[in-house]
């Protein structure tokens, strides 16, 4: 088993745990964190699988770096929306998840 495949399997496990958290958790903050774990798993799998002849391919690495920047911005937006939702409703969970 190569290290790239090991990274890809770890990324798939992180992605699965994050997806389960997004589906199963009720509170908004925990869902946002689970979504970040899911994204980290996808990034890890992409970097793990992005090798040519044992050398790292720079194009997927650049895509992952760009994805990390976008994920940080999306997390900031999601946290701002969650804060606004709590200010308007006084609840931490979404409407149907009480």
pTM over 0.95: no
pLDDT given at position 2? 84
Six-digit token pair at 82? 């969650």
CA distance 19 to 33: 11
Has residue 44 got a pLDDT over 90?
yes
What is the architecture, at CATH level 2, of domain 3-89? Answer: Orthogonal Bundle (1.10)
Has residue 97 got a pLDDT over 60?
no
Where do runs of H (alpha helix) occur along the chain? 3-24, 28-49, 58-89
Residues in the chain: 98
Return the domain boundaries, the chain: 3-89
Q: What is the DSSP letter of 52?
A: E
């Amino acid at each position: 088993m190569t290290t790239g495949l090991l990274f890809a399997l770890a990324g798939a496990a992180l992605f699965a745990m994050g997806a389960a958290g997004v589906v199963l958790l009720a509170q908004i903050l925990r869902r946002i964190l689970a979504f970040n774990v899911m994204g980290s798993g996808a990034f890890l799998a992409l970097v793990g699988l992005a090798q040519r002849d044992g050398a790292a391919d720079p194009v997927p690495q650049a895509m992952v770096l760009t994805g990390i920047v976008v994920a940080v911005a999306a997390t900031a937006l999601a946290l701002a929306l969650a804060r606004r939702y709590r200010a308007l409703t006084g609840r931490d969970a979404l409407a149907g998840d009480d």
